[in-house]
Amino acid sequence: MLQPGGDVAALLSVRDAAARLGVCTATIYTLCERGELAHVRVLNAIRIAASGLVAFVERNTSVSREAVTTGCQAPGRARRSKQRST
């Protein structure tokens, strides 16, 4: 969230936040309404601090138990070598 004395330019519009997450603006509005995404209202506009967006992503990122214990990549993320059938 924007700290006192912080840079107001670090505030993102709903459209910019949606673009950074690769979702539609309706999703951002829903996350704000549910209290899952920190935001500030400036009159009728919603603004999201870039740091708040990062915090949201970190809180909602899951890592498989195997990846944590073995240092492996999460399932489905590992590169697979192409095998040719003979």
**Which pLDDT tens digit goes with each residue over 23-77?**
999 999 999 999 999 999 999 999 999 999 999 999 999 875 555 555 555 455 5
**What SS3 class is residue 13?**
strand
**Which pLDDT tens digit goes with each residue over 42-54?**
999 999 999 999 9
- pLDDT given for residue 63 in this prediction: 75
CA distance 35 to 30: 9
Which DSSP symbol is given to 23? Answer: S
pTM across the whole model: 0.64
Domains of the chain: 8-61 (1.10.10)
